[in-house]
Structure 1
């Protein structure tokens, strides 16, 4: 897999990126292979980068005062991610980011965003569309938690993440859905059948 072409391809799905603009961004990009379980960003740390998952999978999660965890989101291949409030406001991140499998991740410094926006309109389009996607995802998740039953939320999860059901531990899915692992097990038997 050519990770640079994967990154560029994902950008070009969002906006038309001229070759000279890609050439400008490339020196700022750092590539990293993360082992399963590696914490890329800890809550309380300032996030200074925008990330791209070329392969693998990560999760964003909150820590509770009791020492528990609550999964906020999963990041799949070809996904962009960051702690946006931390990046923009220069405050500590409210959540952590961890690899759930061996993952190849690109990053570039958030400090160059304003310069990119001023250089070429393609970067403004990328920035706007990524923020729109994040906002829509957040709004849909909030709606699901407030208005839908656990069964409906699980069905929506299967539709949104059709491959994750067998790729990650069930307690992570339960945490994301806001239910207990026992409740998820009952739902799985009802929806997926007793053999899963």
Structure 2
């Protein structure tokens, strides 16, 4: 009997990696075991060269091999060799891990900077509030007695214009004019824009 020799491989050799990937694409677990044995070393070596951390490299290599199992139907021999396809998956996954680690470090750095920002300064807020109140009091003293009285009743005691009018026994229009003129003078005194 004549032995058939296939060009490009030994007579006793099984399917090549490309054929194995085709079998994996159809769900052949035994073929995946052969793919795993063939590519796991090169995948781990490539991933380790990118990540440098042995533990992370092993984790990413496992992720790549799971991805090979899941995405074997996407392999196209016309685009390149099976080994190049697997190593491209490995390189992409390793680079993604590096980018994720860098993004995580950047987020942690930003969070640390936020933790170092000074908390709300209650004393400063109280001092500023007192200064503003004193400025309002000083400006209130520049108003006429009638304007100050109308503003006090309307804004500090919460009365309506009609109630101020009745309490002071003056026409409603007069109360409104006093309030308007008093507010204009206060605005000017406090330096608030028009």
Higher helix share: 2
TM-score (norm 1): 0.22
Structure number with greater Rg is 2
Relative contact order higher in (CA < 8 Å, ≥ 6 apart)? 1
Higher strand share: 1
